[in-house]
Chains A and B, each alone.
Chain A
Amino acid sequence: DAGVIQSPRHEVTEMGQEVTLRCKPISGHDYLFWYRQTMMRGLELLIYFNNNVPIDDSGMPEDRFSAKMPNASFSTLKIQPSEPRDSAVYFCASSSHSRSGDNYGYTFGSGTRLTVV
């Protein structure tokens, strides 16, 4: 299994530009999470999906952020327009749980380091 795959690994963009981050979860996982990590705020949950449906987007900072999951094998996180304070590492994670409700935890991708100048 290739694990959770994120692209690009690094992104440098100018303020005001649109940025799209991509994630391919592990096949068979029915949950997908987007996190942001910064030195100041640590790990922040932005949004998560269950079976491609957004369940909780309360962590999305503002309307400039949007996320989609058009199918079980692909998700995007878009920032438009980007601002310097969006600079962070963005992680995607996926997980599954058993029918009895066991929580197996997450598998994280390697992250996308976004720098907005």
Chain B
Amino acid sequence: AQSVTQLGSHVSVSEGALVLLRCNYSSSVPPYLFWYVQYPNQGLQLLLKYTSAATLVKGINGFEAEFKKSETSFHLTKPSAHMSDAAEYFCAVGSGGYNKLIFGAGTRLAVHP
């Protein structure tokens, strides 16, 4: 069985500060891992994905995530937060050949001046 845990339902940072959103997964098979972003009144948009290639994955809008098998983690980071990064972020886990994704509960990121 697969599962995802996002630590912290709300994260608040100052503009220009480091963004760190935490995601831990559980999977009995090699996982595919994803981060999605949801802006208000919009659908979920793919930020980045890990599919067993490089462990450090770069996505859109300056975000990146590192797959750490030993820690079963896939934390999302951005060196310098921008006001436009305020949104809800979802981590998800899936597996090859099986397209169903399991989503975490989401983390709402607030960015203040």
- Asked if A101 and B34 make an inter-chain contact with CB atoms under 8 angstroms apart, the answer reads no
8 Å CB contacts to A: which residues of B91-113?
A: 92, 94-101, 103, 105-106
- Asked if A105 and B46 make an inter-chain contact with CB atoms under 8 angstroms apart, the answer reads yes
Q: Which residue of B lies closest to A42 (CB)?
A: B105
A97: chain B residues at CB < 8 Å are 96-97, 99
B3: chain A residues at CB < 8 Å are none
Query: Complex: how many Å from CA A25 to CA B53?
Result: 28
- Asked if A111 and B103 make an inter-chain contact with CB atoms under 8 angstroms apart, the answer reads no
**Shortest Cβ distance from B105 into chain A, in angstroms?**
5
- Asked if B103 and A42 make an inter-chain contact with CB atoms under 8 angstroms apart, the answer reads yes
B32: chain A residues at CB < 8 Å are 102-103, 105
**Interface size (B, Cβ < 8 Å)?**
24
B61: chain A residues at CB < 8 Å are none
Q: How large is the interface on A (under 10, 10 to 19, 20 to 34, 35 or more residues)?
A: 20 to 34
1/0 contact string of A33-52 vs chain B (CB within 8 Å): 10000000011010010100
1/0 contact string of A100-117 vs chain B (CB within 8 Å): 111111111111010000
- Asked if A110 and B43 make an inter-chain contact with CB atoms under 8 angstroms apart, the answer reads yes
- Asked if B105 and A101 make an inter-chain contact with CB atoms under 8 angstroms apart, the answer reads no
Task: Judge whether A56 is part of the interface by a CB distance below 8 angstroms.
Answer: yes
B99: chain A residues at CB < 8 Å are 31, 48, 50, 95, 97, 103
Partner of A103, one of B36, B45, B95: B95
Query: Complex: how many Å from CA A102 to CA B49?
Result: 11
8 Å CB contacts to A: which residues of B30-61?
A: 32, 34, 36, 41-46, 49, 51
Task: Judge whether B90 is part of the interface by a CB distance below 8 angstroms.
Answer: yes
**Shortest Cβ distance from A96 into chain B, in angstroms?**
8
Known: A42-B105, A43-B103, A103-B51. A108 touches B96 (CB 8 A): no
Query: Complex: how many Å from CA A42 to CA B34?
Result: 17
**A residues lining the B interface (CB < 8 Å):** 4, 31, 33, 42-43, 45, 48, 50, 56, 91, 93, 95, 97, 100-111, 113
